[in-house]
């Protein structure tokens, strides 16, 4: 709770005031996530891999900040190839032929460019919308935070059957449903505060994003279990790494951006 109280104000301030504060926030987050990902998939000493991965992400975020998401996506594709090539040249992490179940760390390292980069570009693209950007990103953050808090609170309070014990032993069905309910409520409440007179549609979409966010959380848990890691870092007391905190936001950001790309961004708020 103390970590959230310390971190939330500057994050919300960056969202409200927009560029260049929001650009700096996303860029800083991308660098931290790159370092954590390279440690997760490549070993405890990221070295050159962390630099290449971070450089690709920073370049993509910079292009997105200049309102060139098309260039950003092209950079991410090239970054994927560059990270894989560097990892191969350094002999980092090819799966042994005799162990077909071992992860190919080269491919996983390269995948981090897309896994981290696409959500970062999506956030930049949404916030750049002069008419709706601020409100959509605020709505998204509120929904994801509500889903995380509701999932934790209801899971601890009610307990019951496990959701996916092989992936994340502590998550329960009660936590999933509680998180979805809280996300729906937050979607409606945030839309109302932002001036939307209707609540049914933002509530329904909030519940959908809450589900997506928890799916992102489970996906990251599966990746950590794949590499035998409990947390991606220790940068946030009580939470672990930054990736442990924003895994749900990353998934929900991509889906929210897709809704906006289809021309339906106004339905969120």
Mean pLDDT is lowest, of 100-109, 152-161, 203-212, for: 100-109
Based on the domain organization, do 74 and 154 belong to the same domain? no
Q: Say if residue 230 is in the same domain as residue 265.
A: yes
Cβ pair 147, 180 in contact under 8 A: yes
CA distance 138 to 269: 10
- In this structure, the answer to whether residues 141 and 122 fall within a common structural domain is no
Number of folded domains that form the chain: 2
Higher pLDDT, 217 or 7: 217
Residue 137 CA to its chain's centroid (Å): 13
Indicate the residue among 105, 128, 151 that finishes a domain: 128
Q: Mapping DSSP to helix (H, G, I), strand (E, B) and coil, where does residue 20 land?
A: coil
Residue 204, preceding bond cis, omega within 30 degrees?
no
- Say how far apart CA 185 and CA 165 lie, in whole Å: 27
Q: Is the pLDDT of residue 232 over 80?
A: yes
27 and 116 in one domain? yes
155, 108: one domain: no
The answer to whether 209 and 147 have CB atoms below 8 angstroms apart is: yes
Q: Same structural domain for residues 166 and 91?
A: no
pLDDT by residue (tens digit) across 111-154? 999 999 999 999 999 999 988 999 999 999 999 999 999 999 99
> Looking at 41-45, 48-52, 183-187, which range is the least confident one?
41-45
* Residue-number span of the structural domain to which 58 is assigned: 1-128
Instruction: Select from 108, 128, 148 the last residue of a domain.
Output: 128
Residues 123 and 136 grouped into a single domain: no
């Amino acid at each position: 709770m103390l970590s959230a109280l310390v971190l939330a104000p500057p994050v919300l301030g960056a969202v409200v005031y927009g560029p260049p504060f929001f650009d700096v926030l996303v860029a800083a987050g991308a660098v931290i996530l790159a370092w954590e990902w390279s440690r997760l998939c490549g070993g405890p000493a990221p070295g050159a891999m962390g630099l290449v991965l971070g450089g690709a992400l920073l370049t993509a975020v910079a292009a997105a900040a200049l309102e060139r998401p098309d260039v950003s996506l092209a950079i991410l594709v090239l970054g994927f190839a560059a990270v894989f090539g560097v990892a191969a040249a350094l002999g980092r992490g090819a799966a042994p032929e005799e162990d077909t179940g071992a992860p190919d760390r080269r491919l996983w390292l390269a995948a981090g460019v897309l896994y981290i980069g696409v959500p970062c570009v999506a956030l930049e693209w949404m916030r750049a919308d002069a008419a709706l950007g601020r409100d959509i990103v605020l709505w998204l953050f509120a929904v994801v935070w509500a889903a995380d808090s509701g999932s934790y609170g209801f899971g601890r309070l009610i307990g019951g059957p496990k959701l996916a014990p092989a992936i994340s032993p502590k998550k329960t069905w009660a936590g999933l449903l509680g998180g979805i309910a809280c996300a729906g409520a937050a979607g409606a409440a945030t839309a109302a505060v932002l001036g939307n007179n209707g609540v049914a549609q933002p509530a329904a979409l909030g519940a959908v994003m809450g589900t997506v966010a928890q799916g992102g959380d489970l996906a990251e848990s599966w990746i950590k279990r794949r590499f035998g890691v409990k947390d991606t870092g220790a940068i946030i007391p009580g939470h672990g790494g930054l990736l442990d905190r924003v895994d749900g936001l990353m998934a929900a950001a991509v889906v929210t951006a897709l809704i906006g790309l289809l021309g339906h961004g106004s339905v969120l708020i």
